[in-house]
Amino acid sequence: PDAALPPYAARLNDPQREAVVTTDGPVLMLAGAGTGKTAALTARLAHLIAMRLAWPSEILCVTFTNKAAREMRERVGGHIGQAVEGMPWLGTFHSIGAKMLRRHAELVGLQSNYTILDTDDQLRLLKRLIQENDLDEKRWPARQLAGLIDRWKNRGLNPGDLDAVENESFANGRGTEFYRLYQERLKSLNACDFGDLLLHVLNIFRQHRDVLEQYQQRFKYILVDEYQDTNQVQYLWLRLLAQERKNICVVGDDDQSIYSWRGAEVANILRFEKDFPGAKVVKLEQNYRSTPQILAAASGLIDANSQRLGKTLWTELPAGDRVRVVGVWDAPEEARRVGEEIERLEREGCPLDQIAILVRAQYQTREFEDRFIQIGLNYRIVGGFRFYERAEIRDALAYLRVIAQPADDLAFERIYNQPKRGLGAKTLEAMSRHARRVGMPLAAASLDLADSDELPPRARNTLIGLLRHFVVWREAAETETPANLLRQVLVESGYEEMLQKDRSAESAGRLENLSELARAMEEYDTLGDFLEHVGLVMDNDARDNGEKVTIMTMHAAKGLEFNHVFLPGWEEGVFPSQRSLDEGGLASLEEERRLAYVAITRARRRCTILHAANRRIFGQWTSSIPSRFVEELPDDHVERETTMTGGASLWRANWTESEDPFAHVSSERPDKSNARGPGWQRALATGYDPKQARVRENSRSAASFAAKPRNDIAIGARVFHDKFGYGTVTDQEGNKLEIEFEKAGTKRVIDSFVTAAS
């Protein structure tokens, strides 16, 4: 570090410093992960202010998330040794767009106090329009229209800009018509949606030169992070703003473009030099984040992509551990394994907030949440609800609660009209009034009420129908497993159908979450046990103290770093996702691979990749294939936990030639002790230790027929249970034990699920 330099520049390397001090003219910083792009951009912002090249209010600085904007503001303050007064134009595209639109709303027919609709409002509005225009909403769902309009807006297209072809994808060529109707309706409501925040401003810039010029004058400097993930409308907007002064500095990495599904175009960064001739191009090659092994593994993987610029990365950081690839038997074992490792790291003094689990899909978080709750590990879910807090999960739980506990009014209130049955607020009012009058729980009172003529006949019949269902479900609860009961309820209540009908990605995710819920329930003997478990989970959710392990999607982790990163579920169909495989195109696969690159490069010290040999998908056990990305990792930098020579590739070669992956689909939990399928071979190939596991698995599979008490466990013994953790045996009857668990309270469990603990 050069003592003569201001502190924000002192630790920077030469190319970084160049990007900071080249203040005039366009600058493109195109570099790999962890090379200090964001750090340099932050230093540049500090430099512009410290050198008085611009007031904070004269700099436009775009970050990818609000959190990143907050961090940048703090760092700049730290760099120049004083809090920065006001930096009104530092934020995300949306927040900056919203601020500009407030100032000029009248130019697009809005008032400055316009409201921003959320997705729910937007859908409701579109639904109404579809109904008003006598279109069958089942055939032409509002969500499809919303997606279409969103994509148009992301591309900067107004209704008048559309051609006939684009139109056909909705209601036989009526897409534009609905787009136009929707925009008009929004205007009359003095409202706009997220997409409008930028599109309106772009329209204003295009139609009102004076306004554009005013901003072109104001912004002496423009800075943009994560430029590879800008979409068309953002690009056009920036290009207009930068056209005059051309003091625009963008940073990004073509290998980290992961939002094309939201309209992002990596081409924007690739054509920057054309848009701004004479741009200074800064390449950063030194990585400051990750060990050489992590870097080499990530670089080796991304090499498999054809669509890339290609770049070299190196690091001076000392050698660390190889990237670990761990093959486990199934998802519960995956969660157990990660939990153990985290506990070990914690004992070694690693702060929990330096540990992250990055998943491909939201539903993957459930297994980890359950496990962490059991072992009392603090965690937080970033960028999404905790599993049991999601709307569809709460709905499903509400049904189950009413089945188990007819007096659960809150639960009944949640679902009496979910899915929509035409029972409105009036019905609820009548039910509540009657319940109070007769002093009965809501559901019971409703039954009573349905007998009277206080309700209109239609509502009465619907209500009777629903209550009958509950009677049937309550009987089923006596005989069916909890998981099967849930499946029955989801079908018979119409809940599943409601989600299936609207063919959006979001609904697909909800259905996935519900089958994940069923999967979680497979492990409980009775509905009561399961609901009690959920009660514990929810209780843990309420606690909020101390450091936490982060669980988030890979997408949300962009730009972040952690000492230790766990990447579970690297199996074909999970990651790369089934969707990307079904779409089949090279482009979607390459985007998944970029996501893998982003994921690995979040790790500073250690990166652990896991894949399970068996996963339950829609209630069926299937043996899964390790992700192709696992194989693409360069062997020299990867440590595969393996017991068989040849590793995963050998296994895979065998497998593709001789076996059909789905020949082994079964509803039985696979038994490791006599498995013969590819899952078994794979487990062997990828380091699953059969000797160790056989003991546990044998005892588990024996549970179904053995009823003799185990002779290695007696009353008073301390034991460990997979689900409930440590406890002391208080009673033993045949193969059933009563255990007082340290965390979960007293429970009766089957003895094959516990191991003796010292």
- Phi first, then psi, for residue 657 (nearest 5°) are -75, -40
Q: Which residue do the tokens 């992590």 mark?
A: 294
Q: Which is nearer to Mg ion, 396 or 595 (CB)?
A: 595
Distance CA 114, CA 324 (A): 52
Q: Are strands 736-741 and 725-733 parallel, antiparallel or unpaired?
A: antiparallel
Distance CA 746, CA 748 (A): 7
32-40, 111-119, 447-455, 718-726 -> range binding ligand ATP (CB under 6 A):
32-40
Tell me which of 17, 37, 336, 700 is the catalytic residue.
Answer: 37
Which amino acid, one-letter code, is at 631? E
Bridge partners of 614, per DSSP, are 330, 623
**Residue 255: CB minimum distance to Mg ion, A:** 13
Binding partner selected for residue 33 from ligand ATP, Mg ion, none, CB under the kind-specific 5 to 8 Å limit: ligand ATP
List helix spans (H) across 57-208: 66-80, 93-104, 119-132, 142-154, 164-167, 175-188, 194-207
Q: Does 37 bind ligand ATP (CB under 6 A)?
A: yes
Q: Which is nearer to ligand ATP, 289 or 360 (CB)?
A: 289
Reference 37, options 252, 247, 230; nearest CA is: 252
Q: Does 559 bind Mg ion (CB under 5 A)?
A: yes
Tell me which of 122, 144, 232, 256 is the catalytic residue.
Answer: 256
**Residue 75: CB minimum distance to Mg ion, A:** 12
Which amino acid, one-letter code, is at 753? F
Q: Are strands 562-567 and 323-330 parallel, antiparallel or unpaired?
A: unpaired
Reference 45, options 217, 198, 218, 220; nearest CA is: 220
37 is catalytic: yes
Distance CA 181, CA 681 (A): 58
Q: Does 16 bind ligand ATP (CB under 6 A)?
A: yes
Q: Are strands 754-756 and 718-721 parallel, antiparallel or unpaired?
A: antiparallel
Among 6, 7, 13, 538, binds ligand ATP (CB under 6 A): 13
User: DSSP assignment of 488-553, as one string?
Assistant: HHHHHTSHHHHHHHS--HHHHHHHHHHHHHHHHHTT-SSHHHHHHHHHHHHHHHH---S--EEEEE
127 is in an annotated binding site: no
Distance CA 591, CA 611 (A): 20
**According to CB under 5 A, which residues from 24 to 43 bind Mg ion?**
37-38
**According to CB under 6 A, which residues from 601 to 630 bind ligand ATP?**
601
Among 11, 246, 469, 747, binds ligand ATP (CB under 6 A): 11
Among 15, 19, 26, 35, binds ligand ATP (CB under 6 A): 35
36 is in an annotated binding site: yes
User: DSSP assignment of 216-257, as one string?
Assistant: HHH-SEEEESSGGG-BHHHHHHHHHHHTTT--EEEEE-GGG-
Q: Which is nearer to ligand ATP, 37 or 637 (CB)?
A: 37
427 is in an annotated binding site: no
Q: Which is nearer to ligand ATP, 593 or 664 (CB)?
A: 593
User: Residue 155 CA to chain centroid, in angstroms?
Assistant: 24
- Phi first, then psi, for residue 526 (nearest 5°) are -130, 155
256 is catalytic: yes
38 is catalytic: yes
Q: Which residue do the tokens 């554009």 mark?
A: 212
Q: Does 33 bind ligand ATP (CB under 6 A)?
A: yes
Q: Which is nearer to ligand ATP, 16 or 701 (CB)?
A: 16
Mask of contacts with ligand ATP, 157-186, x by CB under 6 A?
------------------------------
8-16, 70-78, 98-106, 322-330 -> range binding ligand ATP (CB under 6 A):
8-16
Mask of contacts with ligand ATP, 244-263, x by CB under 6 A?
---------x--x-------
Binding partner selected for residue 12 from Mg ion, ligand ATP, none, CB under the kind-specific 5 to 8 Å limit: ligand ATP
**According to CB under 6 A, which residues from 487 to 546 bind ligand ATP?**
none
Q: Which is nearer to ligand ATP, 41 or 447 (CB)?
A: 41
34 is in an annotated binding site: yes
**Residue 30: CB minimum distance to Mg ion, A:** 12
35 is in an annotated binding site: yes
Tell me which of 166, 193, 196, 226 is the catalytic residue.
Answer: 226
Binding partner selected for residue 13 from Mg ion, ligand ATP, none, CB under the kind-specific 5 to 8 Å limit: ligand ATP
Residues of each annotated binding site for ATP: 31-38
Residues designated as active site:
37-38, 225-226, 256, 602
